[in-house]
Amino acid sequence: MSLVLTTDSVPDESRPDYWRAAMSRAMVPMNVTPRAAPFTGRIVTNSLGYLRVCSVEAGAQRTSRTGTHIARSPEPYIAIGVQTRGTAALVQDNRHATAGERDLLVWDTSQPYSLTYPEPFAALIAHLPRHAVGLPDEQLKHVTGTVIDGSGGVGSALITLITSVITSAGTYPAGLGNKLAGSVVDLFTMLASEQVPPGTTDTETTNGHLLQRIRTHIDDHLGDPDLSPGTIARAHHISVRYLHRLFETEGISVGRLIKRRRLEEVARELARAGASGPTVSSVAHQWGFVNPAHFSREFRRQHGASPAVWRARLATHSPGTGRTLVSSAPDR
């Protein structure tokens, strides 16, 4: 259901405070300074799946978000603004960008910024959760704080989609809303990737560094039973979709890598402890397995024997032989 916030019935002297609260409620906490009197403004805010969207019509104003605001609402969003009337000037990360009608502005709500509208304006704004945007920080920084010409290509397609879905937001079933949100994110990801200047970013190297950080994160959290593609993606500010895309060239999925590494660590623990060590179930639990039957089945599949048989075999080996006792069966 749409939420409409308007100054129409608010006394003139109370409108600045009302409008500041309305803008902060519809988007993220911010300062708002009207530049005309009497000031008028209207916001229609809605949800589109997991996106926060709104349409704004108002008089001249300056908005800004500071470190204090960010501390109060730290959840990061990537904001996309479509200027439908008037102009807007964005300042973020020492970048200055001015948008006219049918231009796109992009900013990061987790970093300070200011937006100045020098005359009455209208805009459509979508807030994309940072974890849903399938780009690492190294690539995303090339598009935030910038204006993108919407006269053609992916920019034009994104403007058309945003205009359509925001003006109709609140009328879609939940499932369709999430699909449309995914379409907005996908188009934005394509657009942002196009903005990386040739030769300034080696995407392959960037992705390689990100993969290494993810593998290290997995190893550091193997004992956490909640470790999953979702928690990994959130920890690295990328989408689950992008996480799976990163692993497409690795020959193993994220879920299988987690399982394989846990089974390897269980096997190593059994090898170190020997027959007098802790129980197999306690070792399995230590490395994130919460279902004993599932653990036994997966251990047998990877190592070719049940955990008990594996441990018994290790007990027959003489210490100090230098033999490698932990091996992995091929991933299936």
Q: Which domain holds residue 62?
A: 3-194
Residues 151 and 208 in one domain: no
Average pLDDT over residues 96-122: 96
**pTM: predicted TM-score of the whole model, two decimal places:** 0.65
> What would the pLDDT profile of 29-53 be if each residue is shown by its tens digit?
999 999 988 999 999 999 998 899 9
Q: Which two tokens stand for residue 296?
A: 């036994």
Which CATH number is 249's domain given?
Answer: 1.10.10.60
Same-domain pairing of 277 and 171: no
Q: Look up the CATH number of the domain holding residue 139.
A: 2.60.120.10
Dihedral sign for Cα 96, 101, 106, 111, please: positive
**Do 184 and 206 belong together in one domain?**
no
**pLDDT at residue 323, as a whole number:** 41
Is the same domain home to 95 and 221? no
Say whether both 185 and 321 belong to one domain: no
Q: Is residue 206 located within the same domain as residue 178?
A: no
Domain boundary among 194, 214, 230: 194
Query: Which residue, of 170, 194, 218, is where some domain finishes?
Result: 194
Which of 194, 217, 238 is where one domain is finished?
A: 194
C-alpha distance from residue 247 to each of 93, 133, 243, 327 (Å) = 32, 17, 7, 22
Residue 151 and residue 212 share a domain: no
* Residues 187 and 220 placed together within one structural domain of the fold: no
Q: How many domains does the chain have?
A: 2
Other beta carbons within 10 Å of 199:
6
pLDDT digits (tens, 9 = 90+) for 181-227: 988 988 898 888 777 765 554 455 556 777 888 999 999 999 999 99
